[in-house]
Amino acid sequence: MLRHDDFLGILAEKMQLLGMTNDVPLEVAIGGSQTYEIEGAGTKWAPEKGTVKYNQDAFIVIRRPREVVSSQPNEQQ
């Protein structure tokens, strides 16, 4: 198992390999989660609305933020 400082060093190397520097803004998000959207009693089987649960295979996403541009229909000829 990697020690905490080993993990951060490897992560820094990989980010540098991808051209990410200190001046590049980044977003960090967690994938593989569920947010409950219905009211519940606050129990294990019926959590309160808004409760976030992470799957065992949840993952971390590090990305460069960019503007979302909607697709445009093809022009008719």
Residue 28 lies in a domain: yes
Residue ranges in the chain whose pLDDT is less than 70: 1-5, 77
CA 57 to chain centre: 13
The predicted structure's pLDDT at residue 63? 87
Whether 2 is in a domain gets the answer no
Q: Which domain range does residue 59 map to? A: 24-66
Would the pTM of this model clear 0.75, i.e. be above it?
no
pLDDT of residue 57: 94
Structural domain contains residue 12: no
Give the per-residue pLDDT at 2.
52
